[in-house]
Structure 1
Amino acid sequence: MTDLISYDDVIDAAYDIFLEMAPDNLEPADVILFTAQFEDRGAAEVVETGDDWTEHVGFVVDEETYAEVRIGLVNEADDALDDVFARMLISRDPDHKFCHMLWKRD
Structure 2
Amino acid sequence: MPARLCSIEEATHQAYAIFQELAPQNLSELDIAEFNQHHEEFGFIEDSEPDNSWQEFVSLESDLEDFVQVLVGIEYEDDDEVLAKILISRDLDAPFCHVLWKQEAEENI
> What TM bracket, shorter-length normalisation?
0.7 to 0.9
Are the aligned partners of 2:49 and 2:65 in contact in 1 as well (CA < 8 Å)?
Answer: no
TM-score between both structures, scaled by the size of structure 1:
0.87
Deviation at 1:61, TM superposition (A): 6.1
Deviation at 1:86, TM superposition (A): 0.3
The separation in 1 between residues aligned to 2:72 and 2:14, in whole angstroms, is 12
Deviation at 1:40, TM superposition (A): 0.7
Backbone CA RMSD of aligned residues: 1.8
Deviations 1:54-95 (A, max 9, x none): 1201236622111110001123x48x7x11000000000011
Which residue identity lines up with residue 39 of structure 2 in the other structure?
F
Asked if 1:50 corresponds to 2:48, the answer is no
Of 97, 100, 103, which residue of structure 2 is paired with 1:102? 100
TM-score between both structures, scaled by the size of structure 2:
0.85
Asked if 1:71 corresponds to 2:72, the answer is yes
- Residue 32 of structure 1 is matched in structure 2 by 33
Identity of aligned residues (%): 39
The separation in 2 between residues aligned to 1:29 and 1:47, in whole angstroms, is 27
Q: How many corresponding residue pairs?
A: 103
Which residue identity lines up with residue 92 of structure 2 in the other structure?
P
Q: Which moved further from structure 2: 38-47 or 51-60?
A: 51-60
Of 77, 81, 84, which residue of structure 2 is paired with 1:83? 81
SS of equivalent to 1:101 = strand
SS of equivalent to 1:96 = coil
Between Structure 1 and Structure 2, which shows a larger proportion of helix residues?
Answer: 2
Q: Which runs of 5+ in 1 are unaligned?
A: none
